[in-house]
Amino acid sequence: MSNNKNRDTIIIGSRKSQLAMVQTESVMKSLQELHPNLKFEIKTMDTVGDRVLNVALSKIGDKGLFTKELEDLMLSGHIDIAVHSLKDLPTKFPEGLSLGAITKRENCFDAFIAHPKYGKDARLSSMPEGAVIGSSSLRRVSQLKRAYPQLQFKDIRGNLNTRFNKLETSGEYDGMILAVAGLERLGWTDRITEVLQPEVSLYAVGQGALGIECRSDDEFVQSLLAPLNHYETAQCCAAERAMLRELEGGCHVPIGVNTTLEQNNSILSIEGVVLSLDGTKSIRLSHRGEIDQPEIVGKQLALMLKEKGATEILAELAATVQNS
């Protein structure tokens, strides 16, 4: 856990899934190119979110389901950094840890993958009444129940390989919803039958970007990571995470965002939505502000959402999940 500049090996922590490894290996490759005199190694492990697959994410709890074990390894000095899908990273860090970099955002939208029997032209709007769509995300389900009340939604857990296997062989699902970015990273975009637009489904806070976590006092590692930080992405995600933090919503609640940059990337425009589980209640607002003040912009949007009733919706949600 040395903090000096004589270290020659940096240990990177990663989950074991194929997608997590692809993401971590891409970060390691970038670091190796930037720092050819250093050695980088990957240490893998399973997290609670990987191991507990028979319970909905919202019922397990929300404190670092996919991050805590990696964070413990960082704090104990066994790894130096951890690569996460930013959408899985809680907005509050354990003492001693912080974000070292946020990578350039890839496609941040959600994708519909229809069962092969429906063909490549299948759309959610054309699915038969009562069709069962798999998703582990309350955010996705709440928005899609609102847009497509004729469809049914069922929890689907596991890594992407597991989910595709369940879709194609279990007979339980007519389709499922996944993040486009993960499918792009695995080279599986040919399986996408529809990319969901913001009018239908706002994406998760941080979706499409990777967050690289490190120890707060490790200036050496922070200096290695700095070139990987993509400014525009980092500012957009900072606004989104500030909104989520102010709403006291976790990674697995029905809160969605859509953030864009305007006026030569000087203005940040963020749209946010808070929904009830069944999608019948929805508060959706947008806010704009300077790109160099993302936390202020995000927090202001959260306060606007609260003023319109978001607090009550989230309180109802918490009570429902606790009692289910």
Q: Is 88 designated active site? A: yes
Of 88, 110, 174, 218, the active-site residue reads 88
Question: What sign has the CA pseudo-torsion 11, 17, 22, 27?
Answer: negative
Identity (one letter) of the amino acid at 214?
C
Q: What does DSSP assign to residue 227?
A: G
Backbone angles phi, psi at 217, to 5 degrees: -95, 5
284 contacts 272 by C-beta, under 8 angstroms: yes
Backbone angles phi, psi at 121, to 5 degrees: -95, 5
C-alpha distances (whole Å) from 170 to each of 146, 166, 174, 195, 217 are 27, 5, 10, 24, 48
C-alpha distances (whole Å) from 258 to each of 230, 242, 250 are 18, 14, 17
Q: How many CB atoms lie within 10 A of CB 11?
A: 18
Could you write out the DSSP letters of every residue in 77-104? TS-SEEEEEGGGS-SSPPTTEEEEEEPP
Backbone angles phi, psi at 180, to 5 degrees: -60, -40
Which amino acids are annotated catalytic?
A: 88
